Amino acid sequence: EDQVTQSPEALRLQEGESSSLNCSYTVSGLRGLFWYRQDPGKGPEFLFTLYSAGEEKEKERLKATLTKKESFLHITAPKPEDSATYLCAVQAYGNNNAGNMLTFGGGTRLMVKP
């Protein structure tokens, strides 16, 4: 069974204080690891897909990295508008995933104070 664990559950930062969010996963053959951002009262918004260990992707102040067991979302010099819940999900290969399903973690709620 695929599992995704995110830590910490909540993270409070001061504006400009860099940090990282962790996503640990177990999956029977990783097809892709996904990061989403979710603002209160809204649906998840796609950020990144990572496919293989060692891969990195960047978008503004966010940088996602991937190893064989975990992914990190690094936030450099965050601003208050980066406050949101960040969700990690994995997608497995194989016949059991003919529907391209995702398994989500519980999310990390990030709060950036000015």
The answer to whether residue 72 forms part of the interface with another protein (CB under 8 A) is no
- Interface with another protein by CB under 8 A: which range of 21-29, 56-64, 75-83, 92-100? 92-100
Supply the minimum distance, in Å, between the C-beta of residue 35 and another protein.
10
**Would you call 18 exposed, middle or buried from its count of C-beta atoms within 10 A (0-12, 13-18, 19+)?**
exposed
CA angle 53, 48, 79 (to 5 degrees): 115
With H, G, I as helix, E, B as strand and everything else as coil, classify residue 42.
coil
Site map 31..70 versus another protein, x via CB under 8 A: xx-x-x----xxxxxx--x---------------------
Per CB under 8 A, 78 contacts another protein: no
Sign of CA dihedral 4, 72, 66, 42: positive
CA distance 113 to 93: 40
Instruction: Dig out the tokens for 9 from the structure.
Output: 């559950």
- Which of 15, 27, 38 is CA-nearest to residue 106? 38
Size of the site for another protein (CB under 8 A): 25
Q: Which is nearer to another protein, 18 or 96 (CB)?
A: 96
Q: Is position 99 an interface residue for another protein (rule: CB under 8 A)?
A: yes
Instruction: List contacts with another protein (CB under 8 A).
Output: 4, 9, 31-32, 34, 36, 41-46, 49, 87, 89, 91, 98-102, 104-107
